[in-house]
Structure 1
Amino acid sequence: MQMKAHKDEKTGTWYFVVSAGKDEDGKRRQIKRRGFRTEKEALKEMRKILQQVDESTYVKKSNLKYVDFLENEWLPSKEVTLRPVTYRTYKSNILNHINPYFNNQEMERITTVAIEKFYVHLLKQTGLSERSIQDIQKIIKSSFITAVKRKYIAYNPAVDAGAPKVPHKEMNVWNLDEVTKFLKSAQEDKLYIAFLLALTTGMRQSEILALRWKDIDFDEGILRVRQTLSHDGKVLIQATKTKSSSRTITLVSRLIHELKKQQRINKKEKIAANFDYEDNDLVICTSSGKPLNPRNLLRSFYRLIFKADVPAIRFHDLRHTVASLMLARNINPKIVKEILGHSDIRVTLDTYSHVLPIVHKQTASQYGEMLFGSE
């Protein structure tokens, strides 16, 4: 096919018209481009467009704004596949961080460099956690992949965008003496059972606050992790973080005793509240049966840390403490993985690699004694 550009005698610029097959309705489709200064420039652009048409990568120019695409197309399409808590997190990140930054920018004008600058902005200016920044990066990558599939843009600028390394928060754990000291200090607190659950089962905060009495089998001495509480404490989610998070944990005798004690307390509160009681069958709840707000748990936690005079750590570090103490006492990493509900044993080994040298040394020593006795 002969490529030919035409000169507009009125403006002195060059233009071209090429055939691009047929549209969805079977009508002939043409692509027009005007305003080229020279014939050479017009022919160069024509060759580029014809190649895109031939490779089915041609994208019709649009003025679609990135924020409109996110809110009106990408996010609604994810609602059916994401867990409710994840959907709300993504929506919050879009409204509070992505939209304000990209504002009214058109999708096709957002470059790889622009996305990299946004990642740097997140790291240096927002003070967001490592997890939040990673969530936002997932939104950016996934949304541009979708935009390419829907022919809004020809190229995905996010695919080559380098993300700066987010400083990993250092894991802080208690030793056995500190755990004992804290539990002793917390023994008379009304939320003692929550801390005892955390330090004997390694359960996540969201799992502890969603634990129901029907999830506990006192005869077998086990509990089953089956649901979670949202971060804002308003929604009980009938699902766990991942498939592997749905698990069964064997209870220590002290915990069984304290759970039965808590059950008696809950029954008394239910009777006292009468018709005002909202029965969610929760082990840990307010005096009216409603889910406990996670912030209230944390307030008690940090107050008790000060009272016990132990190092300040995050509530999530109680989970790390359980795993570290177990591994340091030669409990099989596979068992630890199952107790914590990790999806893969590699997650367990990578997360607690700092404990493994101690475990290896102890194992070698014990094996040596088994073979040769104490020398």
Structure 2
Amino acid sequence: MPKRRANGEGNIRKRKDGRWEGRYTVGHDSETGKAIIKNVLGKTQAEVKEKLKKAIEENVGIDYGRAKTYTVGNWLEVWYENYAKIKMRPSTYLTYHGYIENHIKPQLGKIPLNDLTTLHLQQFYKKLLAEGRVERIEAQKQPKGLSAKTVRNIHQIISSALKLAVEQRLIACNPADGCALPKAERKEMQTLPVEQLTSFLREAKDSGVFALYYIDLTTGLRRGELLGLKWSDIDLEKGDLRVQRQIGRINGKIIEMPLKTC
């Protein structure tokens, strides 16, 4: 009966194509008992020997048997439901859910978690920038590609989920760490000329919403914070206004949410 190779053992051989290959055992399949083999390649025996040593060190303690049960898609679901969702605002986790379901899972979801590479992610981001927009009626006149900001947000989701996989010893390293990301776009703020602003406030006064827009223009409150104001938040004698809540729409329902920042 052949001797069962222990986790971390490796051997080196020269392939028919002239390259050198180092193979090492990272674990055993919990169902079949068969060894799970990984490999490294190089032009020389010395190069492969160094790569093999590094790979074995990096993979010490990795639970490949458990990792094998996950694809990128269902690991993202685990991360989202059990880690990310509990510490996000409702509007944020709904946005994240949309990114996962509409973009990440259709393109990367079926890849085994341990097989995901930096190249997979780089090609995915390139495709999102070129033609990533989900086809909707309201988006027909917009560019086909997603913005650099959206792609960076999607990368952050993937990176966070993979960081957890590293911490759980399911993968040896985070492939998202080596990605080149599109440069964040900084658009110059456009303000209304005095003439247009005066005209706008005149119309607002005639429509009965002058106070709402005047406060927004003079304080820079977010829409949700502005809509969450109550008379009890305003002290007319002292000239104080306290922002203590914000209003948002989640699944068609208007709800009160905690402030994004103090």
Task: Check whether TM > 0.5.
Answer: yes
Matches within 5 A, 1:242-261: 242-243=261-262
Alignment partner of 1:83 is 2:102? no
Paired AA for residue 70 in structure 2: L
Alignment partner of 1:187 is 2:205? yes
The separation in 2 between residues aligned to 1:132 and 1:231, in whole angstroms, is 21
The separation in 2 between residues aligned to 1:35 and 1:138, in whole angstroms, is 28
The separation in 2 between residues aligned to 1:117 and 1:33, in whole angstroms, is 27
Partner residue, 1:73: 79
The separation in 2 between residues aligned to 1:156 and 1:240, in whole angstroms, is 32
Partner residue, 1:105: 111
**Contact 1:148–1:154 under 8 Å retained in 2:** yes
Q: 2:181 aligned to 149, 154, 163, which one? A: 163
1:37-96 per-position Cα deviation (integer Å, ceiling 9, x unaligned): xxx9xx97986775346xx45341514111101113344212222222222221222112
Q: 1:58 aligned to 47, 62, 66, which one? A: 62
The CA deviation at 1:131 is 4.4
Which has the larger displacement, 108-117 or 212-221? 212-221
Change (3 A) 1:182 1:33: closer
Q: 2:255 aligned to 230, 236, 241, which one? A: 236
**Contact 2:158–2:176 under 8 Å retained in 1:** yes
1:127-170 per-position Cα deviation (integer Å, ceiling 9, x unaligned): 44554333222101111111111112112100011111243334
Alignment partner of 1:115 is 2:82? no
1:246-273 per-position Cα deviation (integer Å, ceiling 9, x unaligned): xxxxxxxxxxxxxxxxxxxxxxxxxxxx
Q: Percent identity?
A: 30
Change (3 A) 1:134 1:224: farther
Highest Rg: 1 or 2?
Answer: 1
The separation in 1 between residues aligned to 2:126 and 2:224, in whole angstroms, is 31
**Contact 2:155–2:176 under 8 Å retained in 1:** no
The separation in 2 between residues aligned to 1:175 and 1:225, in whole angstroms, is 28
Give the helix-richer structure, 1 or 2: 1
Question: How high is the TM-score relative to the length of structure 2?
Answer: 0.69
Give the strand-richer structure, 1 or 2: 2
Partner residue, 2:152: 134
1:217-255 per-position Cα deviation (integer Å, ceiling 9, x unaligned): 222222111111225573433421123xxxxxxxxxxxx
Change (3 A) 1:105 1:167: same
User: Aligned residue pairs: how many?
Assistant: 215
The separation in 2 between residues aligned to 1:130 and 1:231, in whole angstroms, is 26
Partner residue, 2:20: none
Which has the larger displacement, 149-158 or 131-140? 131-140
Change (3 A) 1:117 1:168: farther
Change (3 A) 1:205 1:19: closer
The CA deviation at 1:17 is 1.2
User: What is the root-mean-square deviation in Å for CA atoms of aligned residues?
Assistant: 3.3
The separation in 2 between residues aligned to 1:180 and 1:72, in whole angstroms, is 52
Gaps of 5+ in 1: 1-5, 9-14, 21-29, 244-375
The separation in 2 between residues aligned to 1:105 and 1:33, in whole angstroms, is 17
Partner residue, 2:163: 145
The separation in 1 between residues aligned to 2:63 and 2:112, in whole angstroms, is 14
The separation in 2 between residues aligned to 1:221 and 1:69, in whole angstroms, is 51
Partner residue, 2:28: none
Gaps of 5+ in 2: 9-32, 40-44, 134-144
Q: SS where residue 6 of structure 2 aligns?
A: strand
The CA deviation at 1:35 is 11
The separation in 1 between residues aligned to 2:85 and 2:36, in whole angstroms, is 39
Paired AA for residue 141 in structure 1: S
Partner residue, 2:237: 219
The separation in 2 between residues aligned to 1:145 and 1:199, in whole angstroms, is 41
**Contact 1:206–1:229 under 8 Å retained in 2:** yes
1:5-34 per-position Cα deviation (integer Å, ceiling 9, x unaligned): x9x7xxxxxx851157xxxxxxxxx98357
**Contact 2:148–2:183 under 8 Å retained in 1:** no
Change (3 A) 1:221 1:129: farther
Partner residue, 1:17: 5
**Contact 1:210–1:228 under 8 Å retained in 2:** yes
